[in-house]
Structure 1
Amino acid sequence: MKVPFDYQRHLVGAFHKWIGENQIHDDISLYSLSWLMGGKIVKEGFDFKYGAEWSISTYDPILLKSLISGIQQDPDINFGMTVKEITISDDPQVESIQKFYLNSPVFIKRKSGDRQKHYLFSDEESGLFMTQTLQTKLKKAGLNPEGVQVSFDKTYRNPKTKIITFNGVDCKASMCPIVIEGNPEQIKFAWNVGIGNSTGIGFGALK
């Protein structure tokens, strides 16, 4: 099946269709959506000849139940794609300093005057901003935000910049592994909610 390059908003639409009426629509996202995996780039977009895998992670068990129920009622996504199988994964085993690869690029933004500035793996401030965003999510979930630290993996040899257009806005994001320092609860939480901004529209999903 052929899927256009700008498919992300359609995944977001399917996700919100499945969870139904819910207060999370405009709230800080305690969940993350990955990109579709298993495709091959063709002229018009992506070809998922053998189907695709899509990871949705959340810290909220109630949201997870709503999601599964919604998928069972109406499994269609778009472009002829429909959910055939749901696999629930346990939280990973983690170390106090844990490296994660990405299922979607990390997007970091902050207001600079009247404009939004986007930060990449090469910017010194990126680690601080990723840490601040994770701490905000930890507080929102009622967890301890102290002592956690997020950074890009400085030893990674091939970091890349991705420019993704979402609803007409160009977003500059980073494909580079993430290193998180903290206690197991904080690190597993980060794996579930994603890193950086806009995890609810397909950024910052961790493998």
Structure 2
Amino acid sequence: MRIYLSLRKNDKSIPFNYQELLTGVIHKWIGKDNGVHGKSGHYSFSWIQNTIASKKGINLKDGAYFFIGTYKESLLKQIIKGILEDPEMFHGVKVNDVQIKNIPDFSSSEKFLMASPVLLKIKQEDKISHVTLEDNNFEEVLTESFKNRLEKANLLSEGISIRLNPETNFRQTKLVTYKGIKNRTSLAPIIIEGTPEQIAFAWCTGLGNSTGIGFGALK
């Protein structure tokens, strides 16, 4: 399931790197001591959509929104409860409305855009490396990463495949700094092939590493 949050415009410019602020607000809504903060596989959330950049930062346009997805209905209810109690976000941004969207009826092959850049990490000896679109093994690592998350959720991992959509030339790598750490990430249209349940899990919880802090959400 997902919730789509319509937002009131900001009253002062939002920093370009607002991901930490957005993560903090979601943590506030979930509440303390819940065991899901910062963990991949439980939920994902997009970056704010419909924004405009200025020299000072980012401003929201009419119709600005973002969404939060999760496979756990109880977690979504907790987030909604937190929003109703305190809809204020940051820099004057406030949640005006919440819309719930159930999981669509997916087929065995679906095309997606990314609503936040995907972060992929692999461990080589004692070093953690980032894998991006510039690496030949991007699709393989992305698929294997998602298989691992399916297995942790006790879902079937066989038969899943994630690849770049060859019908579009849009490809972008992006350096994202989060709490002082620089992360090499990727944005590109993708195709996921698998069972409807596997694809629904990706739609709800995102792809790659660190979905709990705003990476890897799918439109």
Q: TM (normalized to structure 1)?
A: 0.94
| Corresponding residue number in structure 1 for 2:112 | 100
**Structure 1 position 53 matched with structure 2 position 65:** yes
Partner Cα distance (1:140, 1:114) in 2: 24
Q: Give the aligned length.
A: 207
Which protein has the bigger strand share? 2
What letter is aligned with 1:18? W
**Is contact 1:97-1:180 (8 Å) kept?**
yes
Cα deviation code 1:39-67 (max 9, x no counterpart): 10100111114362011111111110100
Q: What residue is the counterpart of 1:149 in the other structure?
A: 161
Match of 2:31 among 4, 20, 33: 20
Tell me what 1:39 maps to: 51
**Structure 1 stretch 21-30 or stretch 3-12: which is displaced more?**
21-30
Is 2:215 aligned against 1:203? Answer: yes
Please list the CA deviations of residues 115-158 of structure 1 after superposition, one character each: whole Å capped at 9, or x if unmatched. 32111123222222212221222222221111111122244212
Task: Pick from 6, 27, 35 the counterpart of residue 17 of structure 2.
Answer: 6
Matched position secondary structure for 1:9: helix
SS at match of 2:44: strand
Distance 1:73 1:191, change over 3 A: same
Would you say the 8 A contact 1:32–1:56 is kept in 2?
yes
| Secondary structure of 2:201's aligned partner | helix
Aligned with 2:189 (options 153, 165, 177): 177
Could you tell me which residue of structure 1 aligns to residue 128 of structure 2? 116
What amino acid does structure 1 have at the position aligned with 2:23? V
> Which aligned runs of 4 or more in structure 1 are off by greater than 6 angstroms?
none
1: CA distance, partners of 2:206 / 2:180 = 23
CA–CA distance in structure 2, aligned partners of residues 51 and 4 of structure 1: 19
Equivalent position to 2:178, from 148, 166, 181 = 166
1:83: Cα distance to partner? 0.9
- RMSD of aligned residue pairs (Cα, Å): 1.5
**1:57-84 superposed Cα distances (whole Å, 9 cap, x missing partner):** 1111111010000111111111111111
Unmatched 5+ stretches in structure 1: none
- State the identity as a percent: 41
Structure 2: tracts of 5 or more residues without a match: 1-9
Query: AA paired with 1:89?
Result: K
Separation (CA, whole Å) in 2 of partners of 1:199 and 1:45: 24
1:96 Cα deviation from its structure 2 partner: 1.3
What is aligned with 1:89? 101
Rounded Cα–Cα distance in structure 2 between residues aligned with 1:154 and 1:196: 20
Within 1, Cα distance between the matches of 2:215 and 2:38? 16
Measure, in 2, the Cα distance between the counterparts of 1:116 and 1:139.
22
8 Å contact from structure 1 (residues 121, 152) kept in 2: no
**In the TM superposition, what is the alpha-carbon distance from 1:85 to its structure 2 partner?**
0.5
Query: Could you tell which deviates more after superposition, 159-168 or 119-128?
Result: 119-128
The separation in 2 between residues aligned to 1:26 and 1:34, in whole angstroms, is: 15
